[in-house]
Amino acid sequence: MARTTGSDGEKTEAAVREAAVSLIARLGYEAMSMRQLAAKVGVQAAALYRYFPTKEDLLFTLMREHMEGLLKAWDRTRPASDDPAARLAAYVENHIAFHIARRHATHVSNMELRSLSPERLTRILKLRTAYEKELRAILRDGAEAGIFEIDDVGLTAMALIQMMTGVIVWFRPGERLSIAEVTTTYLSMTMRLVGAKIDTFSVARPVRRARDAVAL
């Protein structure tokens, strides 16, 4: 056999990407074989090489597009306001929404960096650094304006990002908490962590109290 009826390059490539994200997230990049991936797509392994010259090219493409998507999402969300508290709130909300919506891709981007060649690793890390820089700028502005109380901007930025990204580890849609509840709670934790003086105006406070939620 050869070309199959109804076959379409664009659709196949999209199917490969989607299957790859989910398989790599579950098994890990090294543990996923090209044959497994092909089987999930419903195609022979050789067909994959029409879209991605090597396995690593596939991984890199997934990661690059994830990181570019994150930066683009922030660019669209970024508020016009220069109020640090409003900007921080927007950053947190965008970060959590983006990562919850792309749990598998985030897993891949965070866990499989070591499988990239040095040059490609550098490219991904540059994108990541650019994104983190945005948060540091917000924190610095807020600290200088006396709105935030921050000991160390760089360290606080890393702590916040790790705290927020950690959501994907335990969050499962449809379980105890909704995305809105999680976001609200993380927002208030963030504001307290940075010692925000003005308690974020337009942002509703969370409803849940401690006794409702001992077990996670």
Partner DNA sequence: GAATTAATTGAACGTTCGTTTTATTAATGC
Partner DNA sequence: GCATTAATAAAACGAACGTTCAATTAATTC
CB of 8 to a second copy, least distance (A): 33
The answer to the question of residue 20 lying near DNA (CB under 7 A) is no
Rounded Cα–Cα distance for residues 173 and 8 (Å):
33
Binding mask 119-158 for a second copy (x = CB under 8 A): -----------------x--xx--xx---xxxxxxxxxxx
Q: Should residue 114 be labelled a site residue for DNA when binding is judged by CB under 7 A?
A: no
CA separation for the pair 136, 152 (Å, rounded): 10
Minimum distance from CB of 64 to a second copy (Å)? 20
Q: Are the beta carbons of 33 and 46 closer than 8 angstroms? A: no
Assess 10 for contact with DNA (CB under 7 A).
Answer: yes
Given a contact cutoff of 8 angstroms between Cβ atoms, the answer to whether 37 and 16 are in contact is: yes
Following DSSP, what letter does each residue of 85-102 receive, concatenated? HHHHHHHHHHHHHHHHHT
The tokens describing 58, both together, are 């596939």
**Site pattern 55..94 for DNA (x: CB under 7 A):** xx--------------------------------------
Q: Which of 172, 178, 169 is nearest to 207 (CA)?
A: 178
User: Interface with DNA by CB under 7 A: which range of 44-52, 114-122, 148-156, 191-199?
Assistant: 44-52
User: CB within 8 A of 14, min separation 6: which ones?
Assistant: none
**Number of amino acids touching a second copy (CB under 8 A):** 54
Beta carbons within 8 Å of 199's beta carbon, 6+ residues apart: 191
Q: Is 34 in the site for DNA (CB under 7 A)?
A: yes
Nearest Cα residue to 58 out of 20, 23, 27 = 20
Q: Site residues (CB under 8 A) for a second copy?
A: 26-28, 30-31, 111, 114-115, 136, 139-140, 143-144, 148-163, 165-166, 169-170, 177, 182, 184-186, 188-189, 192-195, 206, 208-216
Q: Site residues (CB under 7 A) for DNA?
A: 1-10, 12, 32-36, 38, 42-47, 49-50, 53-56
